[in-house]
């Protein structure tokens, strides 16, 4: 603004932070008529408009806040992926410049981000660091190579850095910027083991003897799969519409409505088990074959329509399968306990996304439901003989 900008789109995901800035910033930038404020996810803002900019700046987007229901996803996760950097490039004018700055804490994190823009733009960015540990940094790059003139010795040089210190770019399927290697950290594994131990103890205390749950192994695997399916739904909507609490609330509402619809249909109609199974695996196959990134270029109404189909159709079919099985349970308490323990396991298996990515979680879901169907079929045949 001080240098004569004609218009600025200011994007802030947290309305409270914007309010604080509006109240106490001595320069009162939000009071300037040239500034338009957008309370939105930065990635969602980019995917929702076609404007071109002379400068796009990612200024301190480091919430370190988790998105509810998706343990590894942070509010800014999708802002730093390779696809997001490409989206920012597409919104630049021919003379445009992209820049980001933050206290990045680790040199390898700076190299990951610099390497990402290097790959997207096809030339090296300018890199200015301002602390002894080189963690406070500004990365800048022009859409065309001559748009930015770097200070002496401030050009990021891939060749001068060990390959191990330049992690590959984060991508939409694995948007884990702060995870250097494709692995599950030891601390996570210890916490998972603790959660499983407490869950097993709780199920044993409140659900009865574990032996009584052995007849409901299929419900256990359904519980595992359903939690993974819910995680997949959240990440789908987070990428397509932003990592805001409103989007989160809409996803949980959609899941609950799908569950309610399945229960009501099961009450009023007898749906053949084979038809449910075919519909479930067909919907999972569709969700696996159509990546979320394929929907980003669609208009918002179409994007919403296809997102609902891909995210909630498997949830609906899965609950048809669950309710049709649960209503035949002779011991509902043990059946529900088995399903609940499976859900706890599913919440832990969610961490497989750190290694596999979110798209391959759909394959894990399909495997869990396949095991459940095979066990359930054996159970049905045993009942038929009785």
346 vs 225: CA distance, rounded Å: 6
Distances (CA, A) of 31 to 5, 22, 154, 321: 15, 8, 35, 55
The pLDDT of residue 134:
62
- Residue at token pair 């999708």: 78
- Going along the chain from its start, the domains and CATH numbers come out as 40-165 (3.40.50.150), 186-385 (1.20.1250)
- Residue at token pair 């002779």: 330
Band of residue 380 on the pLDDT scale cut at 50, 70, 90: low
For the chain, what percent of residues have pLDDT higher than 90?
53
**Both tokens of residue 165?**
């210190």
The answer to whether the Cα torsion of 83, 85, 86, 91 is positive or negative is positive
The answer to whether 81 touches 171, Cβ cutoff 8 Å, is yes
pLDDT tens digits along 80-130: 999 999 999 999 999 999 999 998 888 899 999 999 999 999 999 999 988
pLDDT tens digits along 39-89: 998 999 998 888 999 999 999 887 655 554 455 778 888 999 999 999 999
Distances (CA, A) of 355 to 227, 329, 343, 360: 18, 36, 20, 10
Band of residue 382 on the pLDDT scale cut at 50, 70, 90: low
295 vs 22: CA distance, rounded Å: 35
Average pLDDT over every residue of 23-50: 91
Burial of 372 (0-12, 13-18, 19+ CB in 10 A): buried
Model confidence, pTM: 0.87
379 versus 327: which is more confidently predicted?
327
The pLDDT of residue 250:
86
Nearest to 231 by CA among 255, 206, 205, 266: 255
35 versus 213: which is more confidently predicted?
35
Among 94-98, 282-286, 313-317, 321-325, the minimum mean pLDDT is found in 321-325
pLDDT tens digits along 241-287: 987 778 888 888 999 999 999 989 988 888 899 999 999 999 999 99
Among 22-36, 68-82, 200-214, 308-322, the minimum mean pLDDT is found in 200-214
The pLDDT of residue 68:
47
């Amino acid at each position: 603004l001080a240098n004569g900008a004609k218009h600025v789109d200011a994007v802030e995901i947290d309305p409270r932070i914007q309010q604080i800035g509006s109240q106490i910033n001595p320069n009162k930038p939000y009071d300037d008529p040239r500034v338009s404020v957008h309370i939105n996810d930065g990635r969602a803002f980019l995917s929702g408009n076609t404007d071109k900019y002379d400068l796009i700046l990612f200024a301190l987007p480091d919430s370190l806040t988790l998105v509810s229901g998706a343990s590894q996803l942070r509010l800014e996760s999708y802002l730093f992926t390779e696809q997001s950097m490409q989206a920012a490039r597409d919104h630049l004018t021919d003379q445009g410049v992209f820049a980001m700055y933050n206290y990045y804490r680790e040199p390898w994190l700076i190299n990951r981000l610099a390497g990402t823009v290097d790959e997207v733009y096809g030339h090296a960015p300018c890199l200015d660091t301002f602390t002894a540990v080189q963690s406070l940094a500004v990365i800048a790059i022009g859409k065309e190579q001559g748009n930015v003139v770097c200070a002496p010795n401030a050009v990021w040089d891939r060749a001068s850095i060990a390959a191990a210190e330049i992690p590959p770019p984060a991508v939409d399927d694995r948007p884990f910027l702060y995870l250097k290697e494709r692995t599950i950290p030891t601390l996570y594994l210890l916490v998972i083991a603790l959660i499983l131990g407490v869950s097993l103890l709780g199920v044993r205390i409140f659900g009865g003897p574990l032996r009584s749950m052995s007849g409901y192994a299929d419900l256990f695997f359904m519980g595992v799969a359903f939690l993974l399916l819910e995680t997949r739904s959240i990440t789908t909507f987070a990428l397509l519409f932003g990592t805001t609490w409103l989007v989160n609330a809409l996803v949980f509402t959609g899941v609950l409505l799908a569950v309610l619809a399945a229960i009501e249909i099961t009450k009023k109609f007898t749906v053949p088990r084979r038809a449910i199974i075919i519909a479930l695996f067909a919907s999972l196959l569709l969700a696996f074959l159509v990546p979320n990134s394929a929907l980003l270029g669609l208009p918002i109404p179409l994007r919403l329509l296809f997102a609902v189909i891909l995210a909630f159709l498997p949830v609906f079919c899965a609950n048809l399968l669950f309710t049709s099985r649960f209503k035949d349970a002779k011991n509902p308490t043990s059946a529900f306990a088995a399903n609940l323990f499976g859900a706890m396991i599913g919440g832990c298996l969610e961490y497989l996304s750190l290694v596999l990515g979110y798209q391959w979680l759909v394959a894990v879901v399909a495997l869990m439901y396949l095991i459940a169907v095979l066990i359930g079929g054996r159970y049905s045949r045993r009942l038929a003989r009785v």
